Structure 1
Amino acid sequence: MAERPKRPLSSYMLWLSSIRESIKEDNPGIKVTEVTRKAGELWRSMTDKSEWEAKAAKAKEDYVCAMREYKANGGSTDGQQMRTRRSKISVIKKQKEQVSRR
C-alpha cells in the first residue's frame, strides 16, 4: 500500500524554507532559535504574502487530490489510523510498566 500523503506546508513554512539559508548567511553563527525569531520578525513585517499564500493553496489542493486517491486505493481512514496508533501506544505503556515492576 502507498504511504499516506504528507500534510502540505503553510505559507509561512514555504517562505521560511526558501529564506532560512540567506538568514544564516547574513548572520553567521546564529542559533536555530534566533533564525526562527528573525524569520518571524521578517514574516510579520511583510506586506505582500500573496505569492506564498498562493503556493500554500496549490500545495493544499495537491494534498486533497492525493488524499482522495490514497483513500480510493485502500488507504486507511483517519479513524483507523488513530485506533492503530492508540493500540500501539497502549502496548508500549504496558511493556514499560512490566519492565519497571521487575
Structure 2
Amino acid sequence: MTTKKDFSNMVNPTDAFMDEMASATKAQAKQTANHKAKPSENSSESRSQHASFLLTPTTANSLKMIAKLEGTSANNIVNQLLDEYVADYRTNKEKAKKLDQALELFS
C-alpha cells in the first residue's frame, strides 16, 4: 500500500520572494514620495542635465562608499570634481577662449 504525499503545508518560494519585493517596493515608495530635488547652487541654472558615465566596479564602489562616509551623494562628489576640472581648464587663457567660443556657438 502506498501513501499519498501531502504537499499542502509547503510554501512556494516564488510567492515568498514576491511578497518581500512588494513590501520593499512600498517602503521605497514611502522614502521617495517626499524627495524633492535640491536647488542649484548657481541661481542662473534652474535645471540640471542628465549624463551617463561608465565606471569600473572598483571606482563605482569606492565612490559610493566615500559618499556614505562624507554624508553626501556620489552625484554631488562628481559635480564638485567636474566643476574643479572646468575651473582648472579655464586657467589656461587660450583654452578658456576656445571653450567660450564653442559654448557660444553650440549653446
Instruction: Give TM-score, length-normalised by structure 2.
Output: 0.28
Give the number of the structure whose residues are more often helix, by fraction: 1
TM-score (norm 1): 0.29
Higher relative contact order (CA 8 A, sep 6+): 1
Higher Cα Rg: structure 1 or 2? 2
